[in-house]
């Protein structure tokens, strides 16, 4: 039986996102599995995997907002901005108060600019930055604009502070930690990081590796997959008659009569007994033309 859909995994620490992908491929003997946004090896939490034809829709998940809980140690800076790196500086954080942290956090709310860390998967001239960093190379990086919707101080014990962060795609929590340490004048790095959500996928959707290993022993994955349509449940649904669906699945553009619908839409084909079948996503132009963008095959 073919498996297509999204698998929401609780990634353990000390394993890379790509290793999780490989583990799932091996456990369930799958050919096509990908992830929708890397989590650092240190980090835990919500990792969205796309299985089978869901890989066609991965970019729509990558573009989603995310949220995290992070623990940051003050007084020590590292080259990776987390506890797995080499210490680059130490300074006393004894005089840092909760009020000072709250004041400094104001700089990291709303639209901000970040320079990505050298130890990241971003590529420069086709080469991942972390590979350059391991060779001791430094390259000039452009600041990128990201949005911090929420940045709340949860606790502070005089050395380690915990934050809840809700942010746009492309935000580096490690960079927030390092920049916060610079603002406070003592240096800082991430000691633990947990991703809590990606779009509308949340912690209650997650499966731990042990649960997945047990599922593999039963030879079943389909019961654990969320539908390929799940990233689009908040999108406008466009219900197509059989002939319209046939044309769209063949790549044709069609005129649509719903003039109040505009922009990105989820495409569904009418089935018997009032049922519907997801066939992909499209976009409706201002003149009412439906353009198919990503489609499932064989449905």
Q: Which active-site residues does the annotation give?
A: 40
Q: Are 102 and 196 in contact (CB under 8 A)?
A: no
The Cα 140–Cα 285 span in angstroms is: 40
State how beta strands 123-124 and 76-78 pair.
unpaired
Pairing of strands 66-74, 160-167: antiparallel
Q: Is the dihedral of CA 129, 130, 131, 132 positive or negative?
A: positive
Q: CA-to-CA distance for 272 and 266, rounded, in angstroms? A: 19
* Closest by Cα among 170, 143, 216 to 64: 170
């Amino acid at each position: 039986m073919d498996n297509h859909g999204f698998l929401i995994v609780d990634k353990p620490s000390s394993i890379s996102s790509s290793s999780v992908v490989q583990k799932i491929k091996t456990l369930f003997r799958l050919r096509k599995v990908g992830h929708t946004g890397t989590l650092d090896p240190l980090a835990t939490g919500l990792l969205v995997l796309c299985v089978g034809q869901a890989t066609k829709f991965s970019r729509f998940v990558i573009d989603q907002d995310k949220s995290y809980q992070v623990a940051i140690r003050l007084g020590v800076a590292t080259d990776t901005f987390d506890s797995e790196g080499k210490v680059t500086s130490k300074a006393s954080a004894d005089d840092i108060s909760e009020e000072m942290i709250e004041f400094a956090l104001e700089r990291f709310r709303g639209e901000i600019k970040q320079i990505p860390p050298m130890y990241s998967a971003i590529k420069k001239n086709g080469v991942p930055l972390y590979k350059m960093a391991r060779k001791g190379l430094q390259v000039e990086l452009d600041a990128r604009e990201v949005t911090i919707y929420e940045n709340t101080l949860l606790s502070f014990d005089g050395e380690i502070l915990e934050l809840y962060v809700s942010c746009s795609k492309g935000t580096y929590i490690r960079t927030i930690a390092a920049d916060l340490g610079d603002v406070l004048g003592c240096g800082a790095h991430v000691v633990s990081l947990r991703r809590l959500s990606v779009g509308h996928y949340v912690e209650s959707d997650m499966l731990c590796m042990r649960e997945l290993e047990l599922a593999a022993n039963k030879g079943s994955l389909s019961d654990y997959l969320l539908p390929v349509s799940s990233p689009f449940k908040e999108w406008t649904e466009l219900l197509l008659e059989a002939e319209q669906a046939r044309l769209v699945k063949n790549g044709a553009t069609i005129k649509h009569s719903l003039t109040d619908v505009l922009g990105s839409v989820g495409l569904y084909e009418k089935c018997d007994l009032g049922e519907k079948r997801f066939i992909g996503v499209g976009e409706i132009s201002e003149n009412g033309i439906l353009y198919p963008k990503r489609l499932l095959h064989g449905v």
